[in-house]
A and B are shown apart, each in its own frame.
Chain A
Amino acid sequence: MRTITEVSERIVETPSTVTLRFRYTPAASPGQFVMIWLPGDDELPMSLSYTGEPKGVTIKAMGATTRAALSVQKGDLVGIRGPYGNHFDLTPRRILLVGGGSGTAVLAPAAEAAARAGSTVVAALGATTAAELLFVDRARAFSNRVEVATDDGTQGHHGYVTDVSQRLLREDSFDAVWTCGPEIMMRKVIAASEARHVPVYCSMERQMKCALGMCDACALGPYHVCSDGPVFPAERLTPLPEFGRTKRDSSGRRVPL
């Protein structure tokens, strides 16, 4: 069943990213996602970027539907179901966050909750350009070490966020790495972390239809991202030929990422 709820706040985070906040009371843990229905348009899986009330999702314009989602205004009605999927383990420890682009949206609430529970969080956040960096101020509130990278060098390290995370892994010691972003980025994060025996947890994204582990749209190897994930330990992902290479389109065909 869906709950129809009103968008209580719309925040423009970056030129291509908008956060929608809404009242939706079912309990949610950081890492979980909801299906958000834009009446008259599509229904999308979105990780919660705010898991407390009012809950929120942070949407980046990628295709036609996400662009339409950006035009949702305060006061508009949306349909929400969920939350679905698993979540990050919030046991206190030293955590390195590696967020690429809008991937930071799911990491931020997880890091906030982890920090509240006693974890120490170091954050490496990347984007194409300074204006597209997401939740840097929010990260500074849960972490006293936030480093950024931009592809064009407009802020922080000039290059990829993986350059930064590799340096941090050398300089510091961590009990876990949490990452979300392009799969090619996550593959690099995994390789660097495994070399230092630090376990990595990746938040994965695939096309979703039912979100109930039934329709197979989000099949990834033997897993369904909606019900076995979206958070996967790296050792489950690295053996999969699909990881970082292919996804399935709406018909179930394998297509390049």
Chain B
Amino acid sequence: MADLRTTVAGISFRNPLWLASGIWGESGNSLKGAWDAGAGGVVTKSIGSEPRMGYPNPTIETYDNWGMLNAMGLPNPGIDEYPQEIGVARDAGATVIGSVFGADADEFARLGERMAATGVVALELNLSCPHAKGLGSEIGQDPDQVREVVSAVKRAVRVPVIAKLTPNHYDVPLLAEAAEKAGADAISAINTVRAMAIDARLRRPVLAHGSGGLSGPAIKPVGLACVWQIFERVKIPIVGMGGIETADDVIEYLLAGARAVQVGTAVAFEGVGVFRRLGEELTRRLDALHVVQVADLVGAAHGAPAAP
């Protein structure tokens, strides 16, 4: 039987299927639930310095089987309250990755330090949140700021640091290079794709916030392209995500260069049972392909013969 274990930034995971940030991860019981359901790692909701209510509803729009649009507005209980939730998940034996967001490098570093102290195995920096200096833009849009944030966090913590990148940039690998130069231990990509919904009859945006982020099968090709390009330009490991629903989706991300993947929207569409199903499907699929271990597929589509 194929070995599903994988290693990212020196940490071993029982399988490459992680719970993506923002899904289920606000409460410790839910993180535990995803772990118990078979996830190889669980990423927390992005946690900030203060409790944050998020945007008013509607925060979500769904599209039959192909996507989901959300503008939750980073609701989270704040770093003072959150350690008790992580405690619940860690007590269950879960491999927890702590996601944090901040307005600048100092805030990221402070939060990273406190998150690391909860016993998470790694940090994921949510670099796709609005930043304080230029309203409406994202820290993660600017390679210089990515470098500043990652450097500051690296100085503050010992656990591996994963930089989560936005796809809403003309040259995503440039951001990955900035993170790598600053000492990031891994890249995760992609966050949601900027998008919006307008109701024709009401003549107004559907989401209370106006625009939001698209996830689900619709963005899989975008995610694959980003992972592929990042793999060609950096040496550090990549955690891929965007629209993963089947074992073949996982394999495609591995072939593009990911060492692990994250699953989010499929949890909303199918429930947390998606982890067990994907794990079983992946094992069968790898066996059928005579692949012995996940690592054998990582980046294997690169260097495939070009068309004559």
Contacts and interface: CB of A to CB of B under 8 A. Distances in A.
A11 to B, nearest CB: 24
Determine the main DSSP class of B at the interface with A. loop
Contact of B52 (A79, A210, A248, A251): A251
A82 B2 CA distance: 40
Interface string B56-93: 11111111100000101001111001000000000000
A221 B53 CA distance: 20
A42 B52 contact: no
A251 B30 CA distance: 15
Interface residues of A, number: 34
Nearest to B28: A219
A124 interface: no
A185 interface: no
Contacts of B76: 251-252
Interface string A33-74: 001010110111000000000000000000000000000000
28 contacts: A1-B61, A1-B62, A1-B63, A2-B61, A4-B199, A42-B56, A43-B59, A77-B202, A209-B54, A210-B70, A210-B268, A211-B60, A212-B62, A212-B268, A213-B267, A213-B268, A213-B271, A214-B24, A215-B72, A221-B29, A222-B30, A224-B30, A250-B54, A250-B75, A251-B52, A251-B78, A252-B76, A253-B77
B293 interface: no
Contact of A222 (B29, B63, B206, B267): B29
A41 B169 CA distance: 32
B57 A42 contact: yes
B197 to A, nearest CB: 9
A35 to B, nearest CB: 8
Contact of B32 (A39, A77, A222, A250): A222
A1 B265 CA distance: 15
Contact of B81 (A4, A81, A222, A253): A253
A122 B43 CA distance: 48
Contacts of B45: 216, 252
A42 B54 CA distance: 13
Contacts of B64: 1
B57 A209 contact: yes
Contacts of B30: 216, 219, 222, 224
Interface residues of B, number: 43
Contacts of A216: 23-27, 30, 45
A37 B202 CA distance: 12
A153 B62 CA distance: 48
A163 interface: no
A210 B29 contact: no
Contacts of A251: 51-54, 75-78
B33 interface: yes
Contacts of A224: 30
Contacts of B72: 209, 215
Nearest to B85: A252
Contact of A249 (B53, B57, B267): B53
A227 interface: yes
Contacts of A227: 271
B201 A214 contact: no
Nearest to A253: B77
Given A1-B64, A248-B26, 9 more contacts: A4-B199, A37-B57, A39-B204, A43-B58, A213-B267, A216-B25, A216-B45, A217-B75, A253-B81
Nearest to B36: A222
Contact of A210 (B51, B56, B59, B63): B59
